A = this chain, B = another copy of it.
């Protein structure tokens, strides 16, 4: 009853998931950030929105029991289990080619934004725009003055975040290819992650 999928290192994956299913995002090696997006399957223009979710949750990042909302303020994913330490990010844009240019990369560099579009295309869908992602396992601590920092994940190998689909949806992931700043662990080595649909 469980489908298991690999999110290849540095690449994207999109899956069609029915309402009521649980999506386990597994940090196989413990060090990998997984940018995550969700779109309502029969109207892709309605999608999970961090800025609407923060307003609905009255929280900066989702915790067990929290409901993530769409840009129409409707429930789309519920946090039903979290063995990863509960550290995820809603502040930071998907990395993109502009990010790697700014970090000094001259040629092409894999990036989460392209992974969204390519993962969706491979599954037969087209994203209407690039929403701000839920950055699963991404560790961006903040302080009371509003400063933020970029830290390796706190998750352990095999730990996971489980989200219950509240709608029939298309869910997209990118195993973040960031290898210049240590957001995917101090070794700066992006690796694969896994997803189970239960």
Assuming A51-B50, A129-B129, A132-B51, is B91 touching A60 (CB within 8 A)? Answer: yes
Contacts of A107 in B (CB 8 A): none
What number of copies of this chain does the assembly contain?
A: 2
Q: Are A55 and B144 touching (Cβ within 8 A)?
A: no
Q: Is A187 an interface residue (CB 8 A)?
A: no
Q: Is A108 an interface residue (CB 8 A)?
A: no
Q: Is A52 an interface residue (CB 8 A)?
A: yes
Q: Are A132 and B129 touching (Cβ within 8 A)?
A: no
Q: CB within 8 Å of B: which of A62-80?
A: 63, 71-74
Q: Are B51 and A148 touching (Cβ within 8 A)?
A: no
Assuming A55-B92, A91-B51, is B73 touching A148 (CB within 8 A)? Answer: no
Q: Are B143 and A91 touching (Cβ within 8 A)?
A: no
Q: CB within 8 Å of B: which of A21-68?
A: 49-52, 54-55, 58-61, 63
Q: CB within 8 Å of B: which of A108-163?
A: 128-130, 132, 142-144, 146-149
Closest to A94 in B: B51
Assuming A51-B93, A54-B91, A91-B54, is B98 touching A59 (CB within 8 A)? Answer: no
Q: Is A102 an interface residue (CB 8 A)?
A: yes
Known: A51-B92, A59-B146. 18 other contacts (CB 8 A): A49-B93, A51-B91, A51-B132, A54-B92, A55-B91, A55-B92, A58-B147, A59-B147, A59-B148, A60-B142, A60-B147, A60-B148, A73-B101, A73-B102, A132-B132, A142-B142, A142-B144, A144-B144
